[in-house]
Amino acid sequence: MHKRIRRRQVSSNTPFSDTGTHPLLARVYHARGVESSAQLDLSLEHLLPPTQLRNVDRAATLLADALATDKRIVVIGDFDADGATSTALAVSALRAFGARHVDYLVPNRFEYGYGLTPEIVALAAQDKPDLIITVDNGISSLEGVAAASALGIATLITDHHLAGRELPQAAVIVNPNQPGCEFPSKALAGVGVIFYTLLALRAELRARGWFTQRAEVNLAQFLDLVALGTVADVVPLDRNNRILVAEGLRRIRAGQSRPGILALLEVASRQYASVVASDLGFAIAPRINAAGRLEDMSIGIECLLCEDMATARSQASRLHQINQERRVIEQVMQDEALRILAKLELHEASNLPVAMTLYQSGWHQGVIGILASRIKDRLHRPTIAFADGDAGELKGSARSIPGIHIRDILDAVATRHPGLVTRFGGHAMAAGLTLPREAYDEFAAAFVAEVERHAQDVHLQAVIESDGELAAEDFQLALATQLRFAGPWGQHFPEPVFDGRFTVVSQRLVGEKHLKLVLSPAGSDTLLDAIAFNIDPRVWPDLSVNAIEIAYRLDVNEFRGQRSVQLMVEQLVAC
């Protein structure tokens, strides 16, 4: 289903057009809300201070007291890349600060479900911890926190997910999205929240003279983890998050990253010296996430924690293999989902319901989130994919589109239909839920009805935001390189996309469904390499097509030491 291309409207007088910035890049920045060249300074001195983060001072006191009295600490993480980086960061930094008894647990999604449940508390209690720290979870763990309290275990929650109507009775909660928190950036990922908590801890330890007899910890050494988790969780890259990501990328490019990240870049065939945010999101994150989807996220965490390259390479190789298995499972599930959709005869956008729910017995519970995302991208509809859980339950993973807040939709369904949803949680664009298997049909109808109530002003045709057409002289390696490293690009600060009409010089299939093209811009004899991934092999290549309109990114291809301009095609339509 083709997306509508909408060109961004930007005034020709950018506020920093006289600073030496390439005019095209100045226009791109201006279209993303950058109002002065000063906003492009992403050095750490411009990072928001932790003092505005609600309860972070109390968290620092709690942690400093735990260090001073040699308490036993266990970190409870989440089973995605944000959770893995948050866990590795908390464990590594606390050990660096001098904590002698720090361990971690990550709930196996198939046995314990998400977050700090009573069952995971019981498991953690076997090691008799004095303090539980949650990272990237906990804000909805009312029962888990109560279970920990009953056992005399204090709980520090660090999370970034939206709070429910009731907060858990933890010793301290640090979450920029909790009621009453005035921290200016609500977009911190879980790894960002624990990083800020550790900044506050270091300040507290300084005030106590903790570093008079030991070396002070440089927390910048952990920014590679912060960058990876922030990009992987697809949180908005406001300026504060861009600072965190930019500094982390700077360390990785300098070879100052932890062995696990360097090894993961190796198995993904990425050069650390030229890494950008998209490499973290599309090369490293899926390999870490695969461990939590198919096996045990501790594999990913151990890769991030290991301190020598030989061990890191072994761990990264294992994660790569798991990810290969995940891709095979995903493809089978996607084919099955498309057959389900084909039976519905949804040939035109006008025939599509406003939301989609999909379920098939045998689907893998760890892969339904990716499946929901793929179908959402294909149809531009909020989508929930379900798989069988335990004890007659279905586990659902939801993905949404701009304008439809998926967690609020689930909250409204649960309110209108008490008992229909067993539990749910998440944020605007992604959520998870559990419901009784026999309630699937009723839930599917209620979900569609609730989305209909909120969709009147939402565009149900996907849109590609374009930065316009490039002139023939813009297809230069120097400009493509400048655009590549001008980010970090990501959610709410998207990588530049351009559109235009091209003559097709040649086209051929590479792999099973990638289209390799040689193109010439309209009215020019310049020849450009281009590639479109995951095309429909029933449609392309089409040797009868001589001209196409495409939306594309201007990128750099490196092959056998040679660098050249390459167009990364986002959409192509025959003219």
- Are residues 147 and 246 part of one domain? yes
- Are residues 547 and 481 part of one domain? yes
In a domain, 338, yes or no: no
For the chain, what percent of residues have pLDDT higher than 70? 97
The residue to which tokens 């999370």 are assigned? 159
Mean per-residue pLDDT over the chain, rounded: 93
Which among 422, 454, 486 is the end of a domain? 454
3-state class of 229 per DSSP?
Answer: helix
Confidence of residue 456 (pLDDT cuts 50, 70, 90): confident
Domain that holds residue 379: 351-454
**Is the pLDDT score of 348 beyond 60?**
no
Question: For strand 430-436 and strand 131-135, is the pairing parallel, antiparallel, or unpaired?
Answer: unpaired
Q: Quote the pLDDT of residue 508.
A: 95
Mean pLDDT of the 155-184 span: 95
Q: Quote the pLDDT of residue 513.
A: 87
- Are residues 440 and 399 part of one domain? yes
- Are residues 487 and 401 part of one domain? no
Which among 392, 419, 454 is the end of a domain? 454
In a domain, 328, yes or no: no
**DSSP run (H or E) holding 122:** helix 118-125
In a domain, 35, yes or no: no
- Please give the backbone phi and psi of residue 165, each rounded to the nearest 5 degrees, phi first: -70, -25
- Are residues 293 and 379 part of one domain? no
- The answer to whether residues 272 and 255 touch, using CB atoms and an 8 Å cutoff, is yes
- Are residues 478 and 398 part of one domain? no
- Are residues 565 and 532 part of one domain? yes
- Are residues 510 and 401 part of one domain? no
3-state helix, strand, coil split of the chain in percent (to 5) is 40, 20, 40
163 or 210, greater pLDDT:
210
User: For 2-6, 133-137, 201-205, 549-553, which range has the lowest pLDDT when averaged over its residues?
Assistant: 2-6
Which residues have CB under 8 Å from 123's CB, separation 6+? Answer: 105, 112
- Are residues 309 and 162 part of one domain? yes
- Are residues 402 and 311 part of one domain? no
**Is the pLDDT score of 45 beyond 80?**
yes
In a domain, 379, yes or no: yes
Tokens of 249: 């990328």
pTM: 0.92
- Count structural domains, the chain: 3
Tokens of 248: 């982390």
**Is the pLDDT score of 341 beyond 80?**
yes
In a domain, 506, yes or no: yes
Give the CATH number for residue 434.
3.10.310.30
In a domain, 459, yes or no: no
CA distance 452 to 429: 17
- Are residues 245 and 97 part of one domain? yes
DSSP secondary structure string, 192-260?
Answer: HHHHHHHHHHHHHHHHTTGGGSSPPP-GGGGHHHHHHHHHHTT----HHHHHHHHHHHHHHHTT-S-HH
- Are residues 279 and 164 part of one domain? yes
In a domain, 564, yes or no: yes
Q: Quote the pLDDT of residue 79.
A: 86
390-403: pLDDT as tens digits: 889 999 999 999 89
Q: Quote the pLDDT of residue 17.
A: 58
- The answer to whether residues 557 and 563 touch, using CB atoms and an 8 Å cutoff, is yes
Give the CATH number for residue 222.
3.90.1640.30
240-292: pLDDT as tens digits: 999 999 999 999 999 999 999 999 999 999 999 999 999 999 999 999 999 99
Confidence of residue 18 (pLDDT cuts 50, 70, 90): low
Give the CATH number for residue 507.
2.40.50.460
**Is the pLDDT score of 373 beyond 80?**
yes
In a domain, 54, yes or no: yes
Mean pLDDT of the 485-494 span: 94
User: For 217-226, 231-240, 417-426, which range has the lowest pLDDT when averaged over its residues?
Assistant: 417-426
Q: Quote the pLDDT of residue 349.
A: 52
Mean pLDDT of the 34-38 span: 87
The residue to which tokens 């089978």 are assigned? 332
70-109: pLDDT as tens digits: 999 999 998 899 999 999 999 999 999 999 999 999 877 7
